[in-house]
């Protein structure tokens, strides 16, 4: 990947991770890579995770790069008494699906209205788990890119999900919930990882 040629308007990527630490870290690495290649970056966190970031790194930790900005949107959950832990994931997921699109749409509109200060939004980089950023990008008429920050084990689980359903491995039958070697032998060695992943996440 080469840098942006001089005299060319810089592309502006809006990066929005799923609001869990592992997803945020992976998206941050991608955003930094894009920034190093000449992109203007807007990194979107939920208000909750942005407070956690400021608390852990200090209020000045986000200063110094005018072309790498942080913005927030609400996650739709009631305010928390503490910012020291992970939110309840099922509640967070449901809330994100039901409440984040209008807030993200408004953020994209505000970014495009600030064209004197920053380039117009040219693409949205969304965590593969979320669909609302794709809808907002389509409405705006910009490219949407899905990013999958999960590790290999999680990717194998997602990749093989349809095969697991087709083979009757999911939803899990009671005999697949056993962890003894005999149950794993019945599944078959080439597919051992997938049922283990499904077992851990169901």
Annotation marks residue 127 as catalytic: yes
> One of 23, 40, 50, 103 is an active-site residue; which one?
23
Q: Tell me if residue 103 is catalytic.
A: no
Angle at which helices 152-159 and 193-200 pack, to 10 degrees?
A: 100
Q: CA-to-CA distance for 72 and 57, rounded, in angstroms?
A: 17
User: Which of 12, 40, 50, 127 does the annotation list as catalytic?
Assistant: 127
For 144, phi then psi, to 5°, come to -120, 135
**What CA–CA distance (Å, rounded) separates 122 from 188?**
47
Q: Is 72 strand, coil or helix?
A: strand
DSSP notation for 155-202? HHHHHTHHHHHHTT-SSPPGGGS--SHHHHHHH-GGGSHHHHHHHHT-
φ/ψ region of 157 (left if φ > 0, alpha if ψ in -120 to 50, else beta) reads alpha
Catalytic residues: 23, 127
């Amino acid at each position: 990947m080469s840098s942006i040629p001089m005299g060319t308007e810089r592309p502006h990527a809006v990066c929005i991770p799923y609001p869990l630490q592992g997803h945020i870290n992976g998206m941050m690495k991608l955003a930094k890579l894009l920034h190093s290649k000449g992109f203007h970056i807007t990194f979107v966190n939920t208000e909750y995770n942005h407070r956690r970031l400021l608390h852990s790194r200090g209020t000045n930790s986000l200063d110094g790069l005018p072309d790498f900005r942080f913005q927030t949107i609400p996650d739709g959950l009631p305010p928390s008494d503490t910012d020291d832990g992970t939110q309840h994931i099922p509640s967070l997921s449901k809330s994100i699906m039901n409440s984040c699109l209008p807030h993200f749409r408004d953020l994209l509109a505000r970014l495009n209205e600030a064209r004197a200060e920053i380039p117009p939004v040219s693409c949205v980089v969304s965590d593969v788990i979320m669909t609302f950023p794709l809808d907002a990008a389509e409405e705006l008429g910009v490219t949407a890119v899905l990013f999958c920050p999960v590790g290999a084990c999680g990717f194998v689980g997602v990749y093989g999900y349809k095969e697991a359903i087709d083979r009757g491995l999911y939803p899990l039958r009671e005999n697949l919930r056993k962890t003894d070697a005999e149950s794993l032998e019945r599944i078959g060695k080439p597919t051992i990882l997938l049922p283990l992943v499904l077992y851990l996440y169901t």
